[in-house]
Amino acid sequence: AQKVTQAQTEISVVEKEDVTLDCVYETRDTTYYLFWYKQPPSGELVFLIRRNSFDEQNEISGRYSWNFQKSTSSFNFTITASQVVDSAVYFCALSGGSQGNLIFGKGTKLSVKP
Amino acid sequence: DGGITQSPKYLFRKEGQNVTLSCEQNLNHDAMYWYRQDPGQGLRLIYYSQIVNDFQKGDIAEGYSVSREKKESFPLTVTSAQKNPTAFYLCASSIDRYRGSLNSYNEQFFGPGTRLTVL
């Protein structure tokens, strides 16, 4: 069965620290997609990245970077030089739900203090 | 501007009442979804619609109903049969997953959500 585990429930850092959010997934599909979404206090989910299972290249976008390792079924997300505006709940998700939906982890709440 | 709107932002319901949550999108997306979010939990799928006049139950459909009479609209009704409806409800849409290349999977775009509280 498909499953996404975000073991870190809450993380608190001080501004400018680097922080890594962990995501481990389980799937029997050979082709799948992984996603990260950000949920600020307003509640709306904001799409951050989509990664195909055949593309194991790491990706960097500004202060954000993602490390995809198929061998360990992990898709970790790092924020470099964190800022207060990064405070949010971050969700990792996996494609392949029976209804075409995404399978979400329980989320990691990140608090960045000034 | 293209996007997904949900209304109302906050909704209060008395026990025994049915309430309907609105979801509208102008992204020309075929697929639409309703998720429920409880504190400290991920999102769980309630209903899913791939095309107009067609929808399927998700993992927690009991006590909910939907309709898809128009491509742009996918309202969710929370019925009195839903025993624990207090939650945050998120609507999403995406390009039909069967368009484009085989096994393509497009990101879902989410609305701002409706917070439902049962009094």
Per-residue pLDDT tens digits for B2-14: 699 999 999 998 8
CB contact under 8 A, B43 and A47: no
- A97 contacts on B by Cβ (under 8 Å): 45
Please give the average per-residue pLDDT across A36-43, as a whole number. 92
Residue B43 vs residues A51, A56, A83: alpha-carbon distances, Å: 20, 26, 26
Cis before B8 (ω within 30)? yes
Interface test with B, best of A24, A35, A102, A103 (most B CBs within 10 A): A102
Cα B104 to Cα B96: distance, rounded to the nearest angstrom: 9
Give the whole-angstrom CA distance, residue A53 versus residue A71: 11
Interface test with B, best of A5, A10, A99 (most B CBs within 10 A): A99
Burial readout B83-104 (b: 16 or more C-beta within 10 A, e: otherwise): eebebbbbbbbbbebeeeeebe
Strands (E) in chain B, as ranges, are: 4-7, 10-13, 19-25, 31-37, 43-51, 54-57, 64-66, 76-78, 87-94, 109-110, 114-118
pLDDT value at B105 more than 80: no
Between A41 and A19, whose confidence is greater?
A19
Q: Is the pLDDT of residue B99 over 50?
A: no
A48 touches chain B (CB under 8 A): no
Residue B12: other Cβ atoms inside 10 A: 13
- Is residue A37 within 8 angstroms of chain B, CB to CB? yes
Comparing B72 with A57, the larger pLDDT belongs to B72
Mean pLDDT of B38-67: 92
Average pLDDT, chain B: 88
As a whole number, mean pLDDT of residues A80-105 equals 88
Q: Residues of A with CB below 8 A from B97's CB?
A: 100
Residue B95: the pLDDT is 81
Which pLDDT band, with edges at 50, 70 and 90, does A56 fall under?
A: confident
